């Protein structure tokens, strides 16, 4: 009886999930210029002896001067949640990562005392990730007795690095309003335009497919490369050209750009992938990994017989490394 109930619950869950495309994660991230201006940076010396700096978000949120940043992020989060698109919180995500790092280092199995298996890549990927970065920059300017806000908010696709939308401008100067009020006004002033552009971007995704980046690589010990000849569909061609044929057949309206290609690497950008694919008997939502899975399956079969590893960098970028898993 319990199994039957579990099966029904599973079926209901699957049915309710079907028809929903994979949702991108949005996160507000303070811009590098904001962090630099407010000294929220970490400095280090690289191999060449040059001093370089990177934004330190932990410092940005812990600083006493971060009150304004938190206020802007809260206001943006509130508006996006009201519009039905809650944001992933950067500060909370970083706390959660720090917490899980501690837990992972302490966790042991009760029978053998074994630790959790983690590769260096697993460690590297435990970072705050988002598909669309809401890059925020603002500063309080003073003109005579008046203060005003210079505000700049961009939405950037984390994989294609394309700016989806951007709003920027100066707020109305005031000699009496608090900085908090001026900031709130700045956020409210631009949000309708901003969310409207985001909606247009999502509409474009549903019409023309999700835009992703696909990179094909070869393991160092592989016995094939992209110049190896194969017979495919009655013709002989180089593996790299056969990859183009597969992309042409499987992208939405054959939309993709091969931006670079060598015997070891092929990089495709502006690849428009369908949001859904027939898989295990029914239509399922897919991301870049689900899309490239089809190519991996094709390469595994005759006449190629090539094993490959899929390495995903999020919803929108995937690498397929040929030779072995």
Partner 1 sequence: MKTKYLFTLMLTTLFCLTTLPLDAQSARSVNKGMFKSAASYEVQVLGVGQDGTKVFRIWAYDKTVEAAINKAKRDAVAACLFSGLPGSGHTNQTPAICKLSDEETHEAFFQEFFAYPDKKGNGGAYLRFVNRTTDEPPSGKYRVQMKGGYKIAIDVQVMYNNLRSYMEEKGIVKKLGHGF
Of the candidates 141, 172, 282, 300, which one interacts with partner 1 according to CB under 8 A?
172
Residue 313's closest CA among 208, 201, 215, 209? 215
Q: Which residue matches tokens 């950037």? A: 156
23 touches partner 1 by CB under 8 A? yes
Pick between residue 89 and residue 241 the one whose CB is nearest to partner 1. 89
For position 21 contacting partner 1 by CB under 8 A, the verdict is yes
Near partner 1 by CB under 8 A: residue from 169, 236, 245, 259: 169
Q: Cα separation of 264 and 221, whole Å?
A: 12
65 binds partner 1 (CB under 8 A): no
Residue of 52, 83, 282, 300 that binds partner 1 (CB under 8 A): 83
**Of 169, 172, 190, nearest in space to 181 by CA:** 172
Total Cβ atoms within 10 A of residue 47:
5
Alpha carbon separation from 121 to 126, 312, 324 (Å, rounded): 9, 11, 17
Residue 115 or 188 with smaller CB distance to partner 1:
188
Q: 22 or 272: whose CB is closer to partner 1?
A: 22
Nearest CA to 130 among 82, 167, 103, 164? 164
Residue 190 C-beta: closest distance to partner 1, Å = 5
CA 148 – CA 171 distance, rounded (Å): 6
Per-residue contact string for residues 174-213; x = within reach of partner 1 by CB under 8 A: ----------xx--xxx-xx-xx-xx--x---x-------
Give Cα separations from 190 to 76, 126, 152, 170, 187 (angstroms).
Answer: 10, 33, 9, 11, 6
Q: Which is nearer to partner 1, 198 or 266 (CB)?
A: 198
Q: Which is nearer to partner 1, 52 or 172 (CB)?
A: 172
List residues near partner 1 by CB under 8 A. Answer: 20-24, 80, 82-85, 167, 169-172, 184-185, 188-190, 192-193, 195-196, 198-199, 202, 206
């Amino acid at each position: 009886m319990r199994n039957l109930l579990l099966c029904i619950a599973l079926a209901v869950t699957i049915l309710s999930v079907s028809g929903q495309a994979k949702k991108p994660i949005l996160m507000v991230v303070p811009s590098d210029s904001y962090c630099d201006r407010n000294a929220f940076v970490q400095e280090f010396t690289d191999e060449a002896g040059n001093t370089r700096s990177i934004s330190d978000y932990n410092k940005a949120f812990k600083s006493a001067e971060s009150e304004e940043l938190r206020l802007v992020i809260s206001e943006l989060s509130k508006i996006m949640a009201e519009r039905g698109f809650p944001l992933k919180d950067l500060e909370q995500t970083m706390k959660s990562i720090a917490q899980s790092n501690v837990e992972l280092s302490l966790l042991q199995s009760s029978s053998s005392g074994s630790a959790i298996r983690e590769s260096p890549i697993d460690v590297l990927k435990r970072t705050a990730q988002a598909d669309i970065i809401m890059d925020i920059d603002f500063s309080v300017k003073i003109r005579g007795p008046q203060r005003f806000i210079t505000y700049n908010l961009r939405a950037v696709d984390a994989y294609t690095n394309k700016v989806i939308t951007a709003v920027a401008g100066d707020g109305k100067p005031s000699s009496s309003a608090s900085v908090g009020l001026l900031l709130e006004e700045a956020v409210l002033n631009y949000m309708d335009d901003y969310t409207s552009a985001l909606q247009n971007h999502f509409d474009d995704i549903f019409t023309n497919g999700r835009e992703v980046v696909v990179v094909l690589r070869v393991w160092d010990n592989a016995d094939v490369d992209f110049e190896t000849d194969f017979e495919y569909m009655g013709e002989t061609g180089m593996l790299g050209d056969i990859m183009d044929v597969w992309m042409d057949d499987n992208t939405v309206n054959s939309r993709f750009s091969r931006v670079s290609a060598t015997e070891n690497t092929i990089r495709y950008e502006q690849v428009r992938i369908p949001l859904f694919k027939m898989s295990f008997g029914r239509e399922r939502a897919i991301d870049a990994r689900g899309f490239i899975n089809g190519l991996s399956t094709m390469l595994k079969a005759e006449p190629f017989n090539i094993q490959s590893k899929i390495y995903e960098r999020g919803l929108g970028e995937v690498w397929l490394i040929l030779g072995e898993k």
